[in-house]
């Protein structure tokens, strides 16, 4: 499908792409570049690519598809390094969770003749680093692409075909709308999860040991996404501020009403909300975006640590 794919950044997402490319034979060669020698050595030991280099410009030279897989905060510096080495006709893409910022920062620096097709695979786990990736990560997940209206249709089609080959469903979307969608489906959920885990960690009336022991009552569900990569998520909140604050405002308005229902002992209001929210999970399961198994399919009765 491609002659040479260059992956700049090789964490969970980058390494999962590398494995998928290899498993499906999507490129003659994969070049991997990352900032730290240690991470590069790990990627090489895992056999993720064909070319390994600390020099991003070297990685992208001759590549017909370049995908930025670093935290978003590093994009500008990476772009300054690679721009002179990008080939005419090459496609530049990325996997960042925020798209408006990516367009604002990168688009002015994309050389003439290079196609710019930003992307965002809605997939991940709470683990980070090259060893955490796996080829099936994108299967049956959605990948959103946010090319500008005038972008070369052929280039967009090639990126669509690439993600479909990795098992994803692809949706084209305006960057600003994308950022609103992920603010409610991903960014605010992460913010709230990080927040309650922090609150529980800070209490003096309930000990940390009690929080840990009795976490199976619901709390532990939040700790999964609150264990996601700190730098990646810092950059998400630094670059999608407006949409996050808007959705957080809606969440807080609703929470004030719910707090009032608890204070007033308004049973019908509570039961009505709790009944309505059941239906959404059912829809997500029917859409193939969630497991039907109880408790996420967690194993029950397993020994400690298993």
Is 15 a residue that touches its own copies (CB under 8 A)? no
Q: Which of residues 163-182 bind its own copies (CB under 8 A)?
A: 167, 171, 180-182
When the beta carbons of 161 and 214 are compared against its own copies, the nearer one is 214
Is 51 a residue that touches its own copies (CB under 8 A)? no
Among 41, 148, 172, 214, indicate the residue that binds its own copies (CB under 8 A): 214
Place of tokens 């960690």: 201
Q: Which of residues 54-83 bind its own copies (CB under 8 A)?
A: 73
* Minimal distance, residue 260 CB to its own copies, in Å: 10
Of 15, 127, 125, nearest to 70 by C-alpha is 15
27-35, 41-49, 54-62, 254-262 -> range binding its own copies (CB under 8 A): 254-262
30-38, 109-117, 130-138, 154-162 -> range binding its own copies (CB under 8 A): 130-138
Contact 53, 81 (CB under 8 A): no
What CA–CA distance (Å, rounded) separates 12 from 229?
10
When the beta carbons of 112 and 278 are compared against its own copies, the nearer one is 278
Provide DSSP, 69-106: -S-GGGHHHHHHHHGGGPPTT-EEEE--S--HHHHHHH
Give the strand pairing for 119-121 and 142-145.
Answer: antiparallel
* Minimal distance, residue 179 CB to its own copies, in Å: 10
CA angle 242, 244, 247 (to 5 degrees): 110
Is 215 a residue that touches its own copies (CB under 8 A)? yes
């Amino acid at each position: 499908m491609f002659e040479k794919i260059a992956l700049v950044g090789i964490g969970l997402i980058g390494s999962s792409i590398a494995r998928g490319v290899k498993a499906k034979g999507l490129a003659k060669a994969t070049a991997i570049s990352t900032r730290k020698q240690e991470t590069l050595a790990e990627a090489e030991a895992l056999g993720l690519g064909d070319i390994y280099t600390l020099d991003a410009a070297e990685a992208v030279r001759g590549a017909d598809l370049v995908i930025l897989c670093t935290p978003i905060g590093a994009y500008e510096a990476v772009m300054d390094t690679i721009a002179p080495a990008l080939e005419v006709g090459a496609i530049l893409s990325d996997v960042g969770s925020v798209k408006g910022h990516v367009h604002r920062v990168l688009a002015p620096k994309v050389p003439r003749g290079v196609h710019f097709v930003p992307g965002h695979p809605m997939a991940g786990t709470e683990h980070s680093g090259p060893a955490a990736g796996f080829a099936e990560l994108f299967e049956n997940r959605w990948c959103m692409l946010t090319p500008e209206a005038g972008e070369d249709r052929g280039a967009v089609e090639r990126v669509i075909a690439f993600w479909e080959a990795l098992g994803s469903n692809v949706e084209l979307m305006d960057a600003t709308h994308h950022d609103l969608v992920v603010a409610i489906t991903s960014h605010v959920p992460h913010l709230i999860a990080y927040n309650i885990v922090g609150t529980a960690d800070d209490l003096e009336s309930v000990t940390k040991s009690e929080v840990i022991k009795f976490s199976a009552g619901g709390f532990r569900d939040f700790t999964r996404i609150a264990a996601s990569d700190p730098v990646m998520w810092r950059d998400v909140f630094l670059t999608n501020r407006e949409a996050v604050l808007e959705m957080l405002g809606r969440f807080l308005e609703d929470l004030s009403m719910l707090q009032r229902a608890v204070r007033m002992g308004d049973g019908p209001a509570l039961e009505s909300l709790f009944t309505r929210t059941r239906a959404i999970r059912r829809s997500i399961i029917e859409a193939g975006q969630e497991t039907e198994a109880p408790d996420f399919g967690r194993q029950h009765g397993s020994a400690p640590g298993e």
